[in-house]
Amino acid sequence: MLKNGEIMKYSKFNAIKVSLMSLLVLIFAVSFVVPGWADGESTAKRANRQYRVGVGDVLILSVWKDSNLTRSVIVLPDGTLSFPLVGRIQAEGRTLIAIKNEITKLLTKYIPAPTLSIEVSKVNSMVIYVDGKVNRPGRFEIADNINVLQALSLAGGLNAFAQKSDIRIFRETSSSGTKMYKFNYKSVVSGRNLENNIKLKRGDIIVVP
């Protein structure tokens, strides 16, 4: 028969055991609910991996155990980047993993099983332009794609002389040249034609007459 002291120790042991089991169950559950949490991958790393490179962006590329193959490279106006032994490859519009896979494949001609790391050092391509009758016209750096109303807010809003129903968005495309989208500020802010409040892409120009 257990004495009082032994009963207390036994109870404490069981309490600790139950707590540890509960913690393990919680970790197991969270690893399914939040992808990447259990293996230590942060939201920032996942976003970096999915980011599509643009002209002007600066990337850092390095090959493990080879200091001569560590470079800070810029994506040129034609959308390409250059790397030793590889030469020039297309980078604009591609994810980091796609660029990494191509460079790794090309490096295998010279280096057995190269381990390449790649990351964005500086984002210079995520910009939009707001011109015309807004309070702060200019070039704006954005962290992610934003909509037209958000962009106008960045530019300080429309001034008193703006033609609110005749705002236009210009977008350069590789397939069909320049596209133009119309935006009626009055209509959208009143809750109508919300589909016109489109998501902007890097390089878009908003003109407020």
Domain boundaries, the chain: 1-41, 43-122, 127-208
State pLDDT tens for residues 149-183: 999 999 999 999 999 999 999 998 877 889 999 99
Cα distances (angstroms) measured from residue 132 to each of 178, 181, 203: 19, 16, 16
Residue 203 zone, left/alpha/beta (φ > 0; ψ -120 to 50; rest): left
d(CA 131, CA 152): 10
What average pLDDT does the segment 190-209 reach?
94
Q: What pLDDT was estimated at residue 18?
A: 43
State pLDDT tens for residues 80-90: 999 999 999 99
With bands split at pLDDT 50, 70 and 90, how would you rate the model's confidence at 31? very low
Report the amino acid identity of residue 100.
Answer: K
State pLDDT tens for residues 34-51: 444 344 444 445 556 678
Q: What pLDDT was estimated at residue 78?
A: 93
Q: What pLDDT was estimated at residue 34?
A: 40
Given the structure tokens 């939201």, which residue do they identify?
43
Instruction: Assess whether pLDDT exceeds 90 at residue 73.
Output: yes
Q: What pLDDT was estimated at residue 59?
A: 96
What average pLDDT does the segment 51-79 reach?
93
Question: How high does pLDDT run on average in the chain?
Answer: 83
- Number of other CB atoms surrounding residue 60 within 10 Å: 14
Cα distances (angstroms) measured from residue 36 to each of 26, 39, 42, 103, 169: 15, 5, 7, 25, 37
Q: What pLDDT was estimated at residue 8?
A: 52
Positive or negative, the CA dihedral 107, 110, 114, 118 is negative
State pLDDT tens for residues 118-159: 999 998 899 999 999 999 999 998 877 899 999 999 999 999
Instruction: Assess whether pLDDT exceeds 50 at residue 201.
Output: yes
- ∠168-171-44 over CA atoms, to 5°? 115
* Whether CATH 3.40.50.1980 fits 43-122: no
Whether pTM > 0.85 for this model: the answer is no
Q: What pLDDT was estimated at residue 176?
A: 80
Instruction: Assess whether pLDDT exceeds 80 at residue 21.
Output: no
CATH no., domain 127-208 = 3.10.560.10
Alpha helices in the chain (DSSP H): 4-33, 43-50, 96-107, 148-154, 185-189
What average pLDDT does the segment 175-202 reach?
93
